[in-house]
Structure 1
């Protein structure tokens, strides 16, 4: 799931009256991308050099995150960027080693564990893991948090123009409504968009039966003539803001960014089910600086760092110690703070094994229909 953003979040918080908090204004990332990660690995036996290679989604750290870590530790951070979980996996499988910390999403953590790509974490060196809330520990993709700890989390739902459409019931039906023809944008994502159809049909987002997946494909083919197209979340967001779309299938951070500047919009998490996702920090095999990697992961899980991160990304923090420092204007946006009952019907996308190919084939068939 792409988390990329290219416009100022800080300006939006100022519009709605939030205080100036470190990490809530746009900045150029502290380090330039390292597009040629080193291929040797293992960390060696002597003291590590003061360096860290961080492989992350674009624009997914606060203004202060990297500079403060470098100042505190003397460790120089180099960032490289990927645009999808699949790109991340392909890079590592192709021998792109030398990265010290990576940020895979939930189901990709599971795939990487099975593919023997990750090294176990030494939790004795990550004491700030205590800050992580129980709702974000022991999730299905890494039940004992042996290989990963949470970085940010969010939901996938519908950003819509409530001025034009009025308040909508929280379900998936508007995305299939003939009245909205040409004004709907779905995610260009082979798990999220079939997932929306599965949710609407009352099935699991991780369905593997051919019958259920065939039904989902049929639903998406019915929907396709109503769509403007399949887009990234970062494309659906501005299209809803400028009126080209009335409804956009988006990740929650994009929705909150839009809501913070436009009172005509709203965000809903549809029933009977929707996606809850988590991005995670992990150390891949071949890491050049595993000691520094543990220091960086522990730093990210600090209360202040965690708050600055979410105040910048507009995504939710798994860090309970950070919650008192989240900007009030952000916490007050619709859908940012979820009622405990909502967690009961949110689903987590998981590795579906051999059925992964079925999802890819299904989505390709829908887009080419």
Structure 2
């Protein structure tokens, strides 16, 4: 089997409701604080006719309209059914995505936000709460995922897809690793020097923090995504000591697939996607769930603070939460659907759903889902004891790039 034959590898290689607007003028937003941006939408209360247009912001691969593969298209049927023409702005990085949503001169209706973006947009009032009563199928989505974007009793996003970060190893070269120490302990990592792979993301610091949580209990790490300056510094040191042994920091998931398939890697951070692709290609890899636990992530659809086409946006939320669309998204992107009903009937194959832990509540309960690091350790209070995403990014660069 050719590894590049799957649609998921191709995709990754490229890496509705009437809302009364509080004010019609649009001005530059403050970028933070308690004040809402000018033109911010209020929470919708009723569903009205579509406005005929919908402007969305996504990372590559989050939406498919048949351009990558004519057989993969969940946009055209939506447009035909609702009359809402989808305009798409694809960005390369989460930072670019957040910048567009902050831009007071632009009016995007919605954004498919990863965790490091979602938390920032909520804190800066760049997204508006969702009236979940207007989203058919919301209660069918995984309960734990629904709760990740709930603040003060208000829902700020509709779960779209999710995944977890595992330890993947080549069974011919590495015995089953019981913990993250296999990747982060210098003595153990040196055994496979040059053949380790790591995600190229500041949020990968959280796995080092999980390792330290058990290795150095005096650090008193609780939430691996809420680190004090001292805890973050300790995690940075772990990554710096690991760096000489890392053969590749992967940004595109297909790069990690290639590294293991070509024998350049034998151990590293991976997603169920990698394990699925490689095992189906008869490669000798397996996934391990470290004893310290695993981290995870969720992408969610959020409504922009200056939403211009709210009714079409709510129709899009309903559409993308439906099991049939969730099945298409999961098959194409190689991630777990937020709606377990995508695994019912003859939609997704049972093997896929098992591999990606869809509907596995016991597994989900063990996953520590990512959120944007903030100064406030609990993400809500006024204390400034923890470190924010900018500090994480600086630590990541210093530990892995300089």
Whether 1:163 and 2:182 are equivalent positions in the alignment is no
Asked if 1:132 corresponds to 2:153, the answer is no
Alignment of 1:172-183 (within 5 A): 172-176=180-184, 177-183=189-195
Judged with a 3 Å threshold, the aligned counterparts in structure 2 of structure 1 residues 8 and 49 are, in CA distance, closer, same or farther, namely farther
Q: Does 1:64 align with 2:86?
A: no
| 1:187 paired residue among 188, 199, 216 | 199
Matches within 5 A, 1:138-149: 138-139=147-148, 142=151, 144=153, 146-149=155-158
Q: CA, structure 1 residues 262+78, in 2 after alignment: closer, same or farther (shift >3 Å)?
A: farther
| Residue number among 294, 298, 319 corresponding to 2:318 in the alignment | 298
Gaps of 5+ in 2: 15-25, 28-38, 42-47, 65-71, 214-220, 376-386
RMSD over aligned Cα atoms: 3.0
**Contact 1:42-1:288 within 8 A present in 2 as well:** no
Using the size of structure 1 for normalisation, the TM-score is 0.81
Which of 84, 89, 96 is matched with 1:75 structurally? 84
Q: Kindly indicate whether the alpha-carbon contact (under 8 Å) linking 1:51 and 1:76 is maintained by their aligned counterparts in 2.
A: yes
Structure 1: distance between partners of 2:359 and 2:139: 22
Q: Note the alpha carbon deviations across 1:301-337, whole angstroms, 9 max, x for none.
A: 112111222122221112132221222331243x545
User: How far 1:364 moved relative to its partner?
Assistant: 2.2
| Structure 1 residue 65, shift from structure 2 partner | 1.0
Cα distance 1:365–1:10, how it changes in 2: closer, same or farther (>3 A)?
closer
Q: Name the counterpart of 2:374.
A: 353
1: distance between equivalents of 2:142 and 2:104?
A: 35
1:108 is displaced (CA, Å) by: 2.6
Q: Is the 8 A contact 2:167 2:267 kept in 1?
A: yes
For structure 1, the 5+ residue unaligned runs are 1-5, 13-24, 30-38
Equivalent residue number for residue 34 of structure 2: none
- Cα drift, residue 102 of structure 1: 0.6
Q: Say whether the 8 Å CA contact 1:306–1:319 is kept in structure 2.
A: yes
Q: Could you state the TM-score of these two structures normalised by the residue count of structure 2?
A: 0.75
Cα distance in 2 for residues equivalent to 1:268 and 1:146: 33
What is the CA–CA distance in structure 1 between the aligned matches of 2:147 and 2:133, rounded to whole Å? 17
Could you tell which deviates more after superposition, 135-144 or 293-302?
135-144
1:103 equivalenced with 2:112 (yes/no): yes
| 2:234 corresponds to which of 195, 206, 215 | 215
Separation of aligned partners in 2, 1:104 and 1:322: 21
